[in-house]
Structure 1
Amino acid sequence: MSVNASPSWPYPGARWWKFDFHTHTPASKDTGAWQAAIRTPNELTPQTWLLKYMAAEIDCVAVTDHNTGEWIDRLKLAYAEMKREADAGTPPGGFRELHLFPGVEISVQGGFHLLAIFDPSATSQTISDLLAQVDYQGTRGDSDGVTRLGAAQVVERILAAGGLAIPAHVEGDKGLLQVEPGTRKCMMDANTVKAAFEQALLTQKKRLSQAGRGQAEFGGWFNKFLKAEADKRPEFIDHILCWFPEDGLQVEYSRKGDGRDFQSIGQASAGQRAAAMLAFLLAHGNEPLVLDQPEDDLDNHLIYGLVVQQIRSNKLRRQLIIVTHNPNIVVNGDAELIHVLDFNHQCHVKQTGSLQDQAMRREVCQVMEGGEEAFERRYQRLGREV
């Protein structure tokens, strides 16, 4: 953000702003200590509330009480009086400039909380109107009810009113992406999560494309940038409308295999990564699956205990195509059709058949065991003792 030089920031140009996007006042019924102090000498006043954020050197604060905007006008009036005193040369102790952004924390149908944050010009009435539009059914200042409208419609109403929709404490209690304890399963219905994100994305695309066509939707500089880009590259608006965030996949595994103590697959060894991914792939789905050398980075004990056993059970419900050099997978996995490949200038199928064919068994032994003599010697040294 560009600002002029000032005593607190003596350098012209950009600066950092400390912004608290989620705050509460005594208007929220769950602020226990503040509620208990109401109508006592220790009651929290709007001026005292503002001074707390000034002492923390916050530059911008969004006032986001539970389903109410009751304190917004009070805070704006208190700040205006403090600012007048400061401009007159008698600032209250601890005063520093603070920018207030009216907002609200809405309890949305489905059980999650959503912040709506507005321009500083918004008022308590702005919030009251929004709560009426989304048809909030509970007590103002409390989260004992939810909106009658679904997530997508609530986001749409917020954006239409000129607000910014932000999921509150997204991975915490009543967050949009809260997970069940000890698992990675989202507690919210998948359609609720999908609708909330997609509606916000569609509305934002519309605003960006309109700004690119010269219909101001954002701040002056950003509007000029979008318009200049659209004029310079006619396909710019099409790119905005077609854009969708790429899917991301974060894989974690349970180190002890008990469904707890998960850590990122990237922190595991090559063998652990291979075992975890194979277990995942072979445990889900009925569609055909192609595996290219699944034995890589795994010892034969794990191959037999994990891969072979899963292959045998998977065969009952799906087609498996496996490229391998490991005899355990072919023989103990009960391969039904085997293609022996050879290379002579280019790869070609040397022989096709099943393990019932004597010639195929010889090929498997030759390629995967090193031939009958090598197999017999290993058996002589290890097999009989076992």
Structure 2
Amino acid sequence: MTSPVTKTPWDYPGSRWWTFDFHTHTPASRDTPWHTQNLPLAPEEWLLRYMAAGIDCVAVTDHNSGAWVDRLKDAYAAMQAQVEAGNPPERFRPLTLFPGVEISASGGVHVLAIFDPAATTSDIDSLLGAVGYGGTKGDSDGETSRSVAEVIAAVLAAGAIPIPAHADADKGLLRVNPGTRECALSANMVKQALEVEGLLALEWCDLAKPYPQAVEKLARPLARVLGSDCHSFQGQAVPGSRYTWVKMAAPTLEGLRLALLDGNGVSIRRSDEGAFDPFKTPAHVIRSIEIERARVMGNGRPARLALSPYFNAIVGGRGTGKSTVVHALRLATRREGEIQALPKDSEPRERFEDFATVAKGRDDKGALKAETALRVEWQHEDQRLRLNWQANGQGAAVEEWRNDQWQPSTSQSVNASRFPVRLFSQGQIAALAGNGRQALLTIIDEAAGVEPLRQAFEEAKRAFFAQRARLREIDGRLATLPEVERRLQELENKLKTLAQGDHAAVQQAYARAQHQARAVDETLAQLREAVSTLRQTAENLLLDDWLPQHFGEAETDLLAWRAEADALLAQTRKRLEQEATALEQGIARLDGNARLAKWRARAEAACAAYQQLQAKLTEQGVADPQAFARLTQERQQLEAQAKTLRQLQADRTTLVKQIEDQQTLVRERRLAITWQRQTFLEEKLAHNPHVRMNVVPFGFDAFVIERSLRELIEATNERFADDILKVDDGQAQSGLAHDVAAAADRDKLAALEAMRNALIERPGTLGGKFRNYLERKAEKPEFADHVLTWYPEDDLKIEYQRDGGWYAISEGSQGQRSAALLAFLLAFGEEPIVLDQPEDDLDNHLIYDLIVRQIRENKLRRQLIVVTHNPNVVVNGDAELVHVMEFGRGQCYVMQSGALQEKAVREEVCRVMEGGREAFTRRWKRLGREV
């Protein structure tokens, strides 16, 4: 059982849920302890008990008496006066009293009569007289002289609502004999009572109890409500113990009557039916749409549509501005790209672009003016935001409600993740089912969470490009290796010749000493670099600071834990510093080592001998006494260069393998996108009877692949048609795009590889002009990189069901295609969804079985805004809020807003919507209760 006590403040327009106790007693009932034991109870205390229990509406239904009705109403009026004076009573909350009575009809059957809140004790006394009650007021055992059917009819004649009390229990109309489904009362008498026109509901205590078999068909359509039947404030039957959720625009008798007509599962829900949170709103809600100074809307004062978090219907005749609201919302949320992704000649795109144009003259297209401003108030959990769009591009795009005013948001970003919303016109839906499949794929990607996979795919490609660029750099450097090796061999030969003289030993000792000195110096340098590395590592071992606003002084345990973590890392830094110092001292010892000193003495001796030899050679007239030294130094330089290049050769081998692996990763990440799309479709359409979709990897439409290929090679006109895509009589016949499109799914990757080879290798099978063009493109080496990572976009195979079979969407009529796509678009998502005339092109059967059913299912999890001219969508879809649009004096405006339970709204729906009266009749005669 759910408790109604704790509630979220509800400041949305339209219908909402109210807690309603249909059956209560006061001391006016003679079987209550207040009467039998003469216990004192003030009317104020009685009211406060129900207020404290979170009850919104209470029916005062004493046995055959209305004595306390006026007393309770007077007490409530006094409490309300205190509220208005700024001194509300403790525990006070609004409560609507529905005067009533529990009548004991002839035969002992109890019937509740619930009056309008304006009724008085006198009205109840009049009803008791009309049904022939002559017993003691407040006595439950007294009976009327009239039958149950006559009592129900009399209640209806008095303008009240009759409800057989505890119908499945003692003194109930529909109780059965124990262990059977037989009427405990006369089946004929029960049938007569149930057949009274206007009976809408039963009070039913236990949902597990069966209907009497003889009258089940008559009883089952009636709403089953629940009341506490409270006779005291002790025990189980107390205020808030049993109640009914009733959906109404306001707590009125008319609203209650219409809710009971809607019945179970639509506008009635019992507290014993399990968890129910009627005040739970979607994570994202559009609170209002405001249009100011548009061409034919919002002049004089802004046109503002406040919205319910559930189902909002916007109705009106043609030219009253219904679609203007949708277009304005699309502009304000910056979602125009979705409509612009459709083919240029598509009707929905043309209509939107005509609307989104600023008209410069009276006869120009465009619904906007230079000073037009659009505002959309947005609720995300507990944050209120406002989106602003101005034709002049001025002002903040996003504002936040802070300190009781709108202020620029710290983030001015307007994107789909921050402001998620789906906007579809019927023409747009029809286009998505045809040539707009790529736009539909974008919608699927957003819902399926494909963006992270797409980013991973792009990152893999960037890494591949970087590796390929590195390979080209290495190849450029390795081109010098043969020349380096030739020069090195030449120097070796010269040095060998010089080494053959008497001075060879001196020269060789000198050369060896030079090599050794360089090696020793490099070793010491590397050791000193290790010291720097250790100290740098120690300096970098720091934990990020915690933001103080998230960790107050009260979190002493958590702050102590953080201090311990800091100390642990500090110890590690200290040890690293100690190791660096120890290493530095060790290096000093090595540098002064006796063995190294001994070697240095030998090296210095070799150098001195070499210097003496050089002097001697000079004295002997040798032409180039420095030749050996110069050649030795040059050899050393070439040896170092050759060593570096040979290492590059090894690096190249590794890099080539990495490039192969990276290309495989690129392919895997691209396939992951396809897999995610397919998984999403399988999950969302697993049991959809209207449509099914499958992702075709890399596409099946040669014309779509052709466009992508031409963008890749930057040949965007119709050149090279014989090579890229040859078309005959509107059909693709041959060419690279045709070959990929025609390949079976299992052969697509092979077909793509063949296409890449053709573009990079340029075989003779291609036309000469195309080969020449590709050769010029290949002058930029990055061209091949992009070809190697190019994948055409996936495509969608869409099928709809007809006569028990599945058919390609292209074979369906406009209405069938639209119905299939609409069924898909309504099958997923929790973000607000806006539908502009979804019923266009659909017959009434599809409207009722598809749109109405899915609207009712969708509004349990998301906000809906539906522009429609079909009354069945509004009435049988059970709109919580209706805006009726009108055109007059050159302006579109909101003529009427409210819930369907409001008479003025119903009258407007019937006035502006053909068949509106029939739609209400269908709904409230229960012909559509199965929907």
- The TM-score normalised by the length of structure 2 is 0.23
User: Are residue 185 (structure 1) and residue 186 (structure 2) matched?
Assistant: no
User: Are residue 27 (structure 1) and residue 28 (structure 2) matched?
Assistant: yes
- Paired residue secondary structure (1:17): strand
Contact 2:47 2:72 in 1 (8 A): yes
- Paired residue secondary structure (1:172): coil
Contact 1:168 1:175 in 2 (8 A): yes
Change (3 A) 1:228 1:160: farther
1:190-240 alpha-carbon deviations (Å, 9 max, x no partner): 122111111134899xx99xxxxxxxxx74156427745995268668868
Partner of 2:192: 195
Q: Which amino acid aligns with 1:232?
A: G
- Of 126, 134, 137, 1:137 maps to 134
Cα separation, 1, equivalents of 2:171 and 2:905: 34
Cα separation, 1, equivalents of 2:135 and 2:73: 26
Change (3 A) 1:16 1:162: same
Change (3 A) 1:36 1:144: closer
Q: Which amino acid aligns with 2:161?
A: L
Task: Give the CA deviation at 1:99.
Answer: 0.4
Q: Which amino acid aligns with 2:28?
A: A
Change (3 A) 1:152 1:83: same
- Of 207, 217, 224, 2:907 maps to 224
Structure 1 residues 58-67 or 144-153, which shifts more? 144-153
Partner of 2:267: none
Q: Which amino acid aligns with 1:19?
A: F
- Of 74, 79, 88, 2:76 maps to 79
- Paired residue secondary structure (2:63): coil
Contact 1:18 1:59 in 2 (8 A): yes
Give the alignment of 1:212-251 within 5 angstroms. Answer: 219-221=902-904, 223-224=906-907, 227-228=910-911, 232=915
1:160-195 alpha-carbon deviations (Å, 9 max, x no partner): 111001111110110111112233221121122111
Partner of 2:12: 12
Partner of 1:360: none
Partner of 1:99: 96
Task: Give the CA deviation at 1:11.
Answer: 2.6
Q: Which amino acid aligns with 1:124?
A: T
- Of 102, 105, 108, 1:108 maps to 105
Partner of 1:51: 48
Cα separation, 2, equivalents of 1:162 and 1:53: 26
1:338-383 alpha-carbon deviations (Å, 9 max, x no partner): xxxxxxxxxxxxxxxxxxxxxxxxxxxxxxxxxxxxxxxxxxxxxx
- Paired residue secondary structure (1:122): coil
- Of 65, 69, 77, 2:66 maps to 69
Cα separation, 1, equivalents of 2:174 and 2:194: 11
Change (3 A) 1:200 1:165: farther
User: Are residue 149 (structure 1) and residue 832 (structure 2) matched?
Assistant: no
Cα separation, 1, equivalents of 2:16 and 2:918: 34
Cα separation, 1, equivalents of 2:54 and 2:146: 38
Give the alignment of 1:221-370 within 5 angstroms. Answer: 221=904, 223-224=906-907, 227-228=910-911, 232=915
Change (3 A) 1:200 1:138: farther
Task: Give the CA deviation at 1:9.
Answer: 2.2
Contact 2:163 2:200 in 1 (8 A): no
Contact 2:69 2:99 in 1 (8 A): yes
Please tell me the root mean square deviation across aligned C-alpha atoms, in Å.
3.4
Cα separation, 1, equivalents of 2:47 and 2:172: 27
Q: Which amino acid aligns with 1:220?
A: K
- Paired residue secondary structure (1:51): helix
Change (3 A) 1:198 1:98: same
Cα separation, 2, equivalents of 1:165 and 1:225: 29
**Long gaps (5+) in structure 2:** 1-6, 202-256, 259-900
Contact 2:112 2:162 in 1 (8 A): yes
- The TM-score normalised by the length of structure 1 is 0.52
Task: Give the CA deviation at 1:244.
Answer: 7.8
* Rg (Cα) greater in structure: 2
Change (3 A) 1:94 1:236: closer
Change (3 A) 1:233 1:49: closer
Partner of 1:167: 164
Cα separation, 2, equivalents of 1:242 and 1:8: 34
Cα separation, 2, equivalents of 1:54 and 1:185: 40
Q: Which amino acid aligns with 1:131?
A: L
Contact 2:910 2:916 in 1 (8 A): no
Structure 1 residues 224-233 or 113-122, which shifts more? 224-233
Q: Which amino acid aligns with 2:123?
A: T
1:57-112 alpha-carbon deviations (Å, 9 max, x no partner): 11110000000000000000000001111111111111111100000001111321
1:243-284 alpha-carbon deviations (Å, 9 max, x no partner): 7899xxxxxxxxxxxxxxxxxxxxxxxxxxxxxxxxxxxxxx
Cα separation, 1, equivalents of 2:916 and 2:928: 22
Q: Which amino acid aligns with 2:34?
A: W
Cα separation, 1, equivalents of 2:922 and 2:49: 45
**Long gaps (5+) in structure 1:** 1-6, 209-217, 247-386
1:275-320 alpha-carbon deviations (Å, 9 max, x no partner): xxxxxxxxxxxxxxxxxxxxxxxxxxxxxxxxxxxxxxxxxxxxxx
Contact 2:152 2:199 in 1 (8 A): no
Cα separation, 2, equivalents of 1:9 and 1:160: 38
Q: Which amino acid aligns with 1:51?
A: L
Q: Which amino acid aligns with 2:12?
A: P
Change (3 A) 1:203 1:111: same
Where is the helix percentage greater, Structure 1 or Structure 2? 2
Aligned residue pairs: how many?
A: 228
Q: Which amino acid aligns with 2:27?
A: P
Contact 2:909 2:916 in 1 (8 A): no
- Paired residue secondary structure (1:18): strand
Change (3 A) 1:237 1:54: closer
Contact 2:109 2:171 in 1 (8 A): yes
Cα separation, 2, equivalents of 1:198 and 1:229: 34
Change (3 A) 1:9 1:15: farther
Q: Which amino acid aligns with 1:50?
A: L
Cα separation, 1, equivalents of 2:163 and 2:98: 14
- Of 170, 173, 186, 1:176 maps to 173
Contact 2:30 2:36 in 1 (8 A): no
Cα separation, 2, equivalents of 1:230 and 1:108: 44
Q: Which amino acid aligns with 1:17?
A: W
Contact 1:230 1:237 in 2 (8 A): no
Contact 1:34 1:44 in 2 (8 A): yes
